[in-house]
Amino acid sequence: MTSQILLATNNAKKLAELQSIVDEAGLTVTVVSPKTAGAYPEPAETEWSFVGNALIKARAGVAATGLITIADDSGLCVDALGGMPGVRSSRWAGPECDDTANLELVLRQIDDVDEDRRTAKFVSVVALVTPDGAEHTWTGEMPGVLATAPRGEGGFGYDPIFVADDSTAADDGEPRTNAELSAPEKNAISHRGKAMRAMLPTLVELLGAR
């Protein structure tokens, strides 16, 4: 029998990433989105931590659908900015701003920072909440450095300015940003991939117990 779980996001890339992670693990699980499961109002992300916001999103999903719900909250933490933008990553340049405005603001804010001090990390917290109220969270991190200008067409958000420590260089020896990696290459080293893979044993246990 195929079980359904909800991933509380409308981001199709995150949905595809979790589906491929559960498929690779050999689970017969279908990951559905709020659109498929029955749309509900998105809760406000009012916490100042990734854990708090991931739990808000997962609790709202389970309350609306009755399905085991997974949610992730993530962001970019820049050392030279004291860990910001962090939970403010998607709105860093203002509520109406897009990914390009956000990453351009970060580049301006650190344009006087020496190359060896442009360190940063992506952080993802994955929360899982069950219909009977059990709550679990896992954290994944992807350390790296910030480039001085955007490169690449793939990914989203801050990917064009982020060079992961685990990324391999291009054929000409140039370091590659996340936006220059294929989706499987990024998923294998990403903060979200790590947190989601850490979640799998608990998911297997919960589905086995149903």
State the residues that interact with ligand IMP by CB under 6 A: 72-76, 89-90, 102, 122, 155-159, 178, 190
Q: Cβ closer to ligand IMP: 5 or 157? A: 157
Contact 140, 195 (CB under 8 A): yes
What tokens appear for 134 in the block?
């059990």
The gap from C-alpha 100 to its chain's centroid, in whole angstroms, comes to 18
Cα angle value 55/37/22 (rounded, 5°) = 70
Smallest separation (angstroms) from ligand IMP to the CB of 189: 10
| Residue of minimal Cβ distance to ligand IMP | 157
Residue number, 61 or 75, with CB nearest to ligand IMP: 75
* CB of 65 or CB of 74, closer to ligand IMP: 74
User: Least Å distance between CB 190 and ligand IMP?
Assistant: 6
**What is the smallest separation between the CB atom of 106 and ligand IMP, expressed in angstroms?**
10
Using DSSP, state whether 140 is helix, strand or coil: strand
Helices 191-208/12-24 angle, 10° precision: 60
| Identity of the residue, 82 or 204, whose beta carbon is nearer to ligand IMP in the bound complex | 82
Tokens of 5: 């779980």
Q: Does the annotation mark 73 as catalytic?
A: yes
Question: Which of 23, 72, 73, 112 is an active site residue?
Answer: 73
How far apart are CB 198 and ligand IMP at their closest, in Å? 16
172-208 burial code (b ≥16 CB/10 A, e <16): eeebbbbbbbeeebbbebbbbbbbbbebbeebeebee
Active site residues: 73
